[in-house]
Structures are given as structure tokens and as C-alpha cells.
Structure 1
């Protein structure tokens, strides 16, 4: 498994209100991914990015980061082999990603995903 991208997930109560700060004040570009509970913002100049999340649509907990990998099945099997807590099972979501949530030993929940082509 190789990590291909990481997005920090910031929990916010209202994406529209938060967008004003992150896009309006900080000048990040809204990449609008077409869902009302999450949006991605980025800096085209630096490549820095983050996601604003009100609540995850299908999982029982909200992750602190979304980590894209090149082989999500291998990542899932390795997490299970190591005995890490799986918070949300390996699932193909309606919006086109295959993902699972794993709890790191420090308690943080991570969304491990792979975009389906």
C-alpha cells in the first residue's frame, strides 16, 4: 500500500458559514465535490488542502483525516492483521470511493480510501 494523498478533515457545524472564512478570508478555492456534508478547499499555488465536514454520511464517527491509498483492500487487510480497530467496514460508497475507517493507537479515526476509476 502506498499513500497517494492526505486531506485534513475539519469538523464544522455549517459548511456555508465555514466556507466564508476558509475561502473568503484565507483565499482557498472551493473544489465543491457535490455533497452537502463535505467540501474540499485548496490553494492552487501551494497544493495545500483541507476538507470541511459537518458529519460523515455513512460512518458512525467522523475522521480527522482522509488518506487516499493505491490499494485500499491491502490497507484494510494490513489494519486487520495488526489488530487495529475498524470503526467503519470496507465499503464502496455511492459517491465512488471504496473506504474504511480505522482507529489509530492514539485514538484518532482515519478514513482510508481509494477512488474507483
Structure 2
């Protein structure tokens, strides 16, 4: 069997608030909007992946979503600029990523990261 994609589904009481959050923080485009469901994405293509964790690494809790960005420093600055609930400050991890954790308006814990060169 070939898996073509894996989609993250986030339950939210206020879909518009969540759409604005993800658009403002990550510049995601609206791919579909039916009111009760908004699908967002970018033009990037990525390998289908799913992580199974027993812990979040370096003493961090297990995040609900990991979002890899081109420039995590810029994402961190934007997160602070727009008033995101940053719950773990930007840091370099020993396994080669630079990351921070933030909560979205639905309370989901986001691991926002870039791989270090």
C-alpha cells in the first residue's frame, strides 16, 4: 500500500481564529474553506512522515504537531510579535534542530523547528 499523504486534523471551536493564527504565523494558504473545515497548506512538497514519541526530547512534553520552517529564528520573532503563547523558548538541541514550542488558540502544542546545517 502507498500512503499518499497524512493530514493533521485539529478540533477547534473557532475555525476562523485558528485559520488566522496559522496564516499569520506560518503564511499558510487556504486550500479549501467550507466554514466548518478549513484546509491550509503551502506550495512545498514534503516526504510523508509520522513520528511516534514517548517524550518530547530534552525534557520537553510531546508536541501535538511539529512544523518545520525554513527560518525558525524568523518564525520565533513572528510568534512573539503576534502574541503567541510561546511555552518553550528558542534553543538548539543536541540532535541538530533549533526549535521553540508554542500553543495555538485550541491549545495544541506546536514544535516549530529548523534543522541546523
* Shared fold (TM-score, shorter chain, > 0.5): yes
Name the CA distance, whole Å, in 2 between partners of 1:63 and 1:107.
Answer: 11
- TM normalised by structure 1 equals 0.58
- 2:56 maps to 1:56: yes
Q: In the superposition, relative to structure 1, how do residues 7 and 94 fare at CA in structure 2: closer, same or farther (>3 Å)?
A: farther
1:45-68 Cα distance to aligned partner (Å, 9 max, x none)? xx4220000011224422111111
Counterpart secondary structure, 1:61: coil
Structure 1 consecutive aligned stretches of length 4 or more whose deviation exceeds 3 Å: none
Q: Which residue of 2 aligns with 1:105?
A: 105
Q: In the superposition, relative to structure 1, how do residues 77 and 116 fare at CA in structure 2: closer, same or farther (>3 Å)?
A: same
- Larger strand proportion, structure 1 or 2? 1
Q: Answer yes or no: is the 8 Å Cα contact 1:66–1:113 preserved in 2.
A: yes
Matches of residues 36-75 of structure 1 in structure 2 within 5 Å? 47-75=47-75
Counterpart secondary structure, 2:99: strand
- The root-mean-square deviation of aligned C-alpha atoms, in Å, is 2.0
Equivalent pairs, count: 74
Return 5+ residue gaps in structure 1 as ranges: 1-5, 9-46
Counterpart secondary structure, 2:50: strand
Counterpart secondary structure, 2:56: coil
Name the CA distance, whole Å, in 2 between partners of 1:69 and 1:105.
Answer: 20
- TM normalised by structure 2 equals 0.58
